[in-house]
Each structure stands twice: as structure tokens, then as C-alpha cells.
């Protein structure tokens, strides 16, 4: 679908994506520039699996304390 057509029919395109799971390729000057399709569901499961697949870093707590020790509180007034 051309970019112009996608812009003109954007609401209908979204309805088709949401209702029927359709995917559209948007073309500009003869080149595919975007794909409009259903969003993948995200629930954090993949992130949890990734985190659990790596061993804990024993230096993490030390690094965290070190970083916190060099932070300075920035005092600023609203609007500055």
C-alpha cells in the first residue's frame, strides 16, 4: 500500500490489523519503508527467562554502592 493510501485510510488499516490480524507493507517511491501489523503481546516472560539464564554477578552490589557514593544531589529551583 502506498504511503498516501495508508495515510488516507489509517483508521481502516488499524481496524483490519486489530480485527483480522492483517499486516500491511507501506511503500514510498517504490520502496518498502514500514510494516503495520499486530503488536506482539508482551508480558515480561522473555525478560525473566533471560535474567534467570545468566548467573548473578557477585560484584553487582559492590558496583552499586560505589556508584551511589559518587552521586551528588542536584539542588535546582523549579523553572530554572
Would residue 44 count as lying in a domain? yes
User: How many C-beta atoms surround the C-beta of residue 6 within 10 A?
Assistant: 19
For residue 79, being part of any structural domain is answered with no
Residue 56 belongs to a domain with what CATH number? 3.40.1620
Per the CB < 8 A criterion, the answer to whether 34 and 25 are in contact is: yes
Range of the domain at 62: 1-71
14 located within any domain:
yes
Range scoring the smallest mean pLDDT among 20-24, 56-60, 74-78: 74-78
- CA–CA gap between residue 21 and residue 12 (Å, rounded): 13
Looking at every residue in the chain, the average pLDDT score rounds to 92
pLDDT exceeds 70 at position 49: yes
Residue 80 in any domain: the answer is no
Question: 78 lies in a domain?
Answer: no
- Write the DSSP string, the chain: -BHHHHHHTHHHHHHHHHHH---EEEEETTEEEEEE-PPPP--SHHHHHHHHHS---TTHHHHHHHHHHT-------TT-
What's the domain count of the chain? 1
Amino acid at each position: 500500500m502506498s504511503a498516501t493510501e495508508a495515510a488516507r485510510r489509517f483508521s481502516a488499516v488499524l481496524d483490519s490489523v486489530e480485527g483480522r490480524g492483517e499486516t500491511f507493507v507501506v511503500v514510498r517511491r517504490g520502496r518498502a519503508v514500514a510494516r503495520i501489523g499486530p503488536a506482539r503481546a508482551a508480558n515480561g516472560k522473555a525478560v525473566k527467562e533471560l535474567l534467570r539464564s545468566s548467573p548473578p554477578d557477585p560484584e553487582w552490589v559492590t558496583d552499586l554502592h560505589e556508584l551511589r557514593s559518587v552521586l551528588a544531589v542536584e539542588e535546582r529551583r523549579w523553572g530554572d
